[in-house]
Structure 1
Amino acid sequence: MADLSAFPITKKWPARHPDRIQLYSLPTPNGVKISIALEELGLPYEPHRVAFDSNDQTSPEFLSLNPNNKIPAIIDPQGPGGKPLALFESGAILVYLAEKSGKLIPQDAAGRYHALQWVMFQMGGIGPMFGQLGFFHKFAGKDWEDKRPRDRYASEAKRLLGVLDKHLQGKQWVLGDAYSIADIAIFPWVRNLVGFYGAADLVGFAEFKQVQRVLDAFVQRPAVIRGLDIPPKPAG
């Protein structure tokens, strides 16, 4: 049985199954990337809920794993060389899990780099821009009379959707016929933009037929349905 006692985070979130990948997360767009990937890959894991309402993400135990105080983060007890590996940043974790399993990423070098470019597209563009738009459209931004910040992010979100929509023409998934970590990176954020953030009309989402088509296929996958609710809300 793996010994994870060297990781302070396990004091706050004890591992009942220390031989499994330990996932510290919450069902946000970045968080569900990893739960979906783990469900798709069938890798054994144990989820731990990092509750923002009690500031778990700023606790010393969590910061010992991710000094940037963001979810998700993992500990893999069977990392490279059979040694435990701790990782944060959802994009890095996606790549790691895909390469560990040999799935959800092309095995040829060119295909691998194409997958990585779309993961980076999400991390550098879609995530930050959609997130800022959500802030100004749904949350504190409503207190600003000046709508230029909101409109700036809405314009950039619309541009990014246009890039994705054009790319998806004639393709089943981002990389073509093969479902991959590129889809897992991108579509939780698209779902959040038009769902939780309620920004579909603001960005003209009805114009992006290809994005709609692939989003619809994505959210119907059984592993995605399961992963979107992990870690689950506490009972009661």
Structure 2
Amino acid sequence: MTKPTDLTLYTASVPNGIKVSTALEYLELPYKVYPIAFSKLEQKEPWYLEINPNGRVPAIVDVDSAGEKTCVMESGAILLYITDKYDPENKLSYPFGSKEYYEMLEWVFWQVGGLGPMQGQASHFLRYCLSDNPDVQAYGVNRYQNETRRLMTVLETRLAKQKATRNSAYLVGDHLSVADLACLGWVLFDTYVGIESSEFPLLEKWQDEISAMPLIKKGLDVPTEFRIKQVAKDPELLKQASAAGQSWIKKGGEAEKK
């Protein structure tokens, strides 16, 4: 397998970030980590916007042996870049042109366009909403929690079909792929958005089994220890996390207005 010469991941302990760190660890690729400090609005600084013009995480910079630099933003694009360039054995992917390859793309794009944005809004209204109007927050929570549940039902149904038709525990084909990792990063935050994983038995088993894989566990702890399950169940930790999120969202909003 070709290995990166100089690969840096710019990330934080958020769903989109751990999608990429788990992929890098599972493929056992060498890389450096640069933790982005949201509290300091580091993601808005000019140097970082040169890497990721959207001012979000994650992003990667890949410098080859000739010194050629490639910057990639957007977690879905990064996952595909990593597997296209560094996964010739298809440990986390499927051969280009195969049926499984296009199914993998379907679920990566489904997550990027659906589960991530909807669950992200559920998290915002439940944990970070700064509106003084309680009706606004209540509407947002109801709207996006319901949509997140619907999307998790789609995943539950997919896993049931995979088990019945392929005897597979994964979203695509017969082994773990970036389709699973794209969704895992978000499903692990289910309790944080007020959804109990026990509502979806197959999805609960799926996330527990994948998270227990040693290399995946290592990736979840990048750049800091993964503790969202503990935080979601501890009122004081949850209060602290919500306050921190509200603070940087407010700062970020003010900076973007300028």
Find runs of 4+ consecutive structure 1 residues off by over 3 angstroms: 141-144
- Map of 2:110 onto structure 1: 121
| Per-residue deviation, 1:232 | 3.1
- Map of 1:131 onto structure 2: 120
Mapped to 2, the partners of 1:135 and 1:175 lie a distance apart of 30
1:228 aligns with 2:220: yes
Give the count of matched residue pairs.
210
- Map of 1:211 onto structure 2: 203
Give 5+ residue unaligned stretches, structure 1.
Answer: 1-17
1:86 aligns with 2:75: no
TM-score by length of 1: 0.83
* AA partner of residue 78 (structure 2): I
1:200 aligns with 2:185: no
Matches within 5 A, 1:68-107: 68-78=54-64, 83-101=68-86, 102=88, 103=90, 104-107=92-95
Partners of 1:20 and 1:76 within 8 A in 2? yes
- Map of 2:43 onto structure 1: 57
Partners of 2:93 and 2:104 within 8 A in 1? yes
1:46 aligns with 2:54: no
Partners of 1:130 and 1:153 within 8 A in 2? yes
Deviations 1:122-141 (A, max 9, x none): 10011000110011112226
**What secondary structure, in the 3-state scheme, does the structure 1 residue paired with 2:53 have?**
coil
- Map of 1:150 onto structure 2: 141
1:27 aligns with 2:16: no
Partners of 2:149 and 2:195 within 8 A in 1? no
Provide the aligned C-alpha RMSD in A.
2.0
**What secondary structure, in the 3-state scheme, does the structure 1 residue paired with 2:29 have?**
coil
1:163 to 127, 148, 154: 154
| Per-residue deviation, 1:144 | 4.0
Mapped to 1, the partners of 2:178 and 2:60 lie a distance apart of 17
Mapped to 1, the partners of 2:152 and 2:224 lie a distance apart of 30
Higher helix share: 2
* AA partner of residue 156 (structure 1): E
% identity of equivalent residues = 37
* AA partner of residue 200 (structure 1): I
TM-score by length of 2: 0.76
Partners of 1:27 and 1:230 within 8 A in 2? yes
| Per-residue deviation, 1:86 | 0.9
Mapped to 2, the partners of 1:57 and 1:217 lie a distance apart of 33
Q: Which moved more, 1:89-98 or 1:99-108?
A: 99-108
Mapped to 2, the partners of 1:68 and 1:88 lie a distance apart of 8
**What secondary structure, in the 3-state scheme, does the structure 2 residue paired with 1:134 have?**
helix
